[in-house]
Amino acid sequence: MDLIMKIIRRTIALAVILVLLFFIIPSKPVSKQDYEYAGVTARKQCISFMKEIEGAAELYRMENSVTSEIKMESPQRLNEMKYLKLVTRCSMNKDKDYALTVPGGSSTVEVECPTHGKLSEVDTAGLEKGIRKRSFFEKLFLDKVSSR
């Protein structure tokens, strides 16, 4: 009778451990890039970069009294003049820079990504949709992996 009870207890303990491991270990290898650069999140990041460049170009236009249109193939000039801290690129197309047009007068600055298009034409509605939320265990796992 004692032998049967030991076998049952060990079987139950093993089953509990397997169930816990099933929920703790992700079903596929997960890296931070799966969340940061996949699809919708990359688009949100790109829009954020374009808005930052737009703000820097707007400040440049106001401080330098731009009267005629200026086209820039890269925001490098804004960086050199200290209007922009970093020259960023879209995470989905790291080979090309953002192009921008600084108009004279009161028109808005136009920033264009080679992948996602012009900032004024980008549809930002519904960007929250499609982002897979990480489970508690995935957050815990990714935080430990990224701290190594």
Quote the CA–CA distance of 135 and 138 in Å, as a whole number. 5
Quote the CA–CA distance of 35 and 125 in Å, as a whole number. 19
Bridge partners (DSSP) of residue 118 are 112
User: What is the SS3 assignment for 123?
Assistant: coil
Phi, psi of 7 (to 5 degrees): -65, -45
Cα maximum dimension of the chain: 94
Q: Is the pLDDT of residue 19 over 60?
A: yes
Inter-residue contact 112 to 119 (CB < 8 Å): yes
pLDDT recorded at residue 140 = 66
Residue 130's pLDDT band (boundaries 50, 70, 90)? very low
pTM tops 0.85, yes or no:
no
- Stretch 15-43: mean pLDDT: 65
Residues 77-102: tens digit of each pLDDT: 888 999 888 888 888 888 888 999 88
Question: Which residue in 116, 117, 120 sits closest to 103, CA to CA?
Answer: 120
Q: Is the pLDDT of residue 27 over 60?
A: no
User: Where do the structural domains in the chain lie, given as residue ranges?
Assistant: 2-123
- Stretch 15-23: mean pLDDT: 80
